[in-house]
Structure 1
Amino acid sequence: MNYRHSFHAGNSADVVKHSLLIALVRALQQKPGALTLIDTHAGCGLYDLEGDTAQRTGEAMHGVMRAFADHDPLLDDYRAAVRAVNEGDDPRFYPGSPRVLEQLLRPQDVLILNEMHPEDAKALRAAMRGTPAAVHQRDAYELWLALLPTRTPRGMVVVDPPFEQTDERARITATLAAAHRKWAHGVTVIWYPLKDRDTHERWKAQLGRLGIPKFMTIEHWLYDADQPGIYNGAGLFIVNPPYAFTQGLPPMLEALRAALAPEGHSGTLTGEWLVR
């Protein structure tokens, strides 16, 4: 599955991912110590929802536009992050994870971004100009391991690949196992698309066998029954989610599910412990 960020900016997966990233960082920032935030597959950083690639799919209409039409206050932080990169109330531009994370930085925090694709890396540098973010253009899995343990006592790694390669899941599994050996207490967030339920269940079983404690899975299935051959939703694996985050998770997930449910479907958005 090819999931290039620019074609899917602002879709339902982005709404869920960025809402939960904001909640995760806010929970980590309840302690004053410095954080290192690392995004291994950062993309372009900022997307024009009226541009050719976004218009080709039109997925923002079923994601960010639904979130803006909703009035649940639990989505206020997400909507504020999108408004921060726009001049008016209506979202013309969409912030990728780099711009969302940059908005959350405190003076003591560090943001490290990586994007291997040459065109996207160039766009990322332009999008992050004037911010304190460091931008790399390296193999994502090599960088993930090279930067651990972080220089600050606490940190979070966001892994958000396009799933273009057939061995993407295997590389994530192997790198996560090695990363946990180096940095057992760190927070890791891994985004994934949901298309084939059997493939996903096999991958979950493989990850569960790594024996990593405090391993959560969040799954957003858009439709009430699987739609063969199409994108059915997305989710996150989260290693070491902070307590403040998990306590506030159920109402947040319900707010997101209700806002993003396609016409004629209720969908499901659940958070469960894969390993605890």
Structure 2
Amino acid sequence: MNYRHSFHAGNSADVVKHSLLIALVRALQQKPGALTLIDTHAGCGLYDLDGEDAQRTGESMQGVLRAFVDPNPLLNDYRAAVQAVNVGAEPHVYPGSPRILAQLLRPQDFLILNEKHPDDAYTLRGVMRDTSAAVHERDAYELWLALLPTRTARGVVVVDPPYEQPDERARITATLAAAYRKWAHGVTVIWYPLKDRATHWRWKEQLRKLGIPKFLTVEHWLYDDDQPDIYNGAGLYIFNPPYAFTQALPPLLEALRAVLAPEGHKGEITADWLGN
């Protein structure tokens, strides 16, 4: 699956992913200790919703634009993060995870970004020049391990690959296992697309067998039944999520399901513990 983000910026997966990332970081920030935030596949940082790529798919119409007209206050933090890079009532620019994470930084926190694609890395450096973020241009999985344990006692690693390579899931599984041995208490968030339940179930079982105790999976299925060979939704694996985050999760997930359900479908969004 090719998930070049300029085509998909602001879609339903972004709304869920970024809403949950904001909630996760804010839950961790209830304690004053510093955080290190690491984004292994950072992308460009900002995306033009009026550009040719985004307009070709029109996916933002079923994602961020729906969220902007929904009155549910549980989505206020997400809307504010998008509004921060826009002028006017309707968003025309979409912030990727780097810009959203940068908005959340406190003075004591650190943000480390990585993007292997040279053109995207060049764009990312320009987009982030007004922030304190460090930008790297390395293999994501090598960097993930090299930066662990983080310089601060607590941290979050966000893994959001395009799933262009056939061995992507295998590399994630192997790197996660090695990362857990180095940094057992760290928080790791892995984004993944959902195309069919059988393929996804097999990968989920491989991850479950790693034996990481606090393993939460959040899955957002757009349609009531699988639609063959198309994007059916997306999910997040979250390892070691903080208690404050998991306690506040159910109403936020319901708000996201309601605003993002395609016409004629109820949709489904679930959170399940898979740790041993």
TM-score clears 0.5: yes
Q: Distance in 1 between matches of 2:5 and 2:115?
A: 11
- Aligned pairs for 1:1-276 (under 5 A) are 1-275=1-275
Give the aligned residue type for 2:160.
D
Q: Percent identity?
A: 80
Distance in 2, matches of 1:15 and 1:183, equals 29
Taking structure 2 as the reference length, what is the TM-score of the superposition? 0.99
Any stretches of 5+ residues in structure 2 without a counterpart? none
Secondary structure of the structure 1 residue equivalent to 2:102? helix
Displacement after TM superposition at 1:87 (Å)? 1.2
- Runs of 4+ aligned residues of structure 1 deviating over 2 Å after TM superposition are none
Aligned letter for 2:35?
Answer: L
Q: Residue by residue, what CA displacement relative to the aligned partner does 1:1-56 show, whole Å, maximum 9, x if unpaired?
A: 00111110000000000000000000000000000000000000000100111111
Matched residue pairs, number? 276
Distance 1:39 1:220 in 2: 22
User: d(CA) in 2 for partners of 1:264 and 1:144?
Assistant: 41
Measure the CA separation in 2 of the matches of 1:259 and 1:123: 32
CA apart distance, 1:118: 1.1
- Name the CA distance, whole Å, in 1 between partners of 2:264 and 2:222: 11
Moved more, 159-168 or 52-61: 52-61
Report deviation, 1:173.
0.2
Structure 1 alignment gaps of length 5 or more: none
> What SS does structure 1 have at the residue aligned with 2:129?
coil
Could you tell me how far apart the structure 1 residues matched to 2:155 and 2:85 are? 25
**Structure 1: distance between partners of 2:181 and 2:89:** 45
The DSSP-based 3-state class of the residue aligned with 2:274 is strand
Q: CA deviation at 1:115?
A: 0.3
Q: How far apart are residue 63 of structure 1 and its match?
A: 0.3
Q: For 1:18 and 1:202, locate their aligned partners in 2 and report how far apart those are by CA, in whole Å.
A: 26
- TM-score for both structures, normalised by structure 1: 0.99
1:157 & 1:117 partners in 2: Cα distance? 19
Q: Deviations over 1:214-258 (max 9, x none)?
A: 000000000000000100000000000000000000000000000
1:58 counterpart letter in structure 2: G
Report the residue type matching 1:124 in the other structure: L
- Write the distance in 2 (CA, Å) between the matches of 1:57 and 1:143: 32
Deviation at 1:89, TM superposition (A): 1.5
Superposed CA deviations along residues 157-178 of structure 1, whole A, max 9, x for unmatched, are: 0000000000000000000000
Amino acid at match of 1:241: P
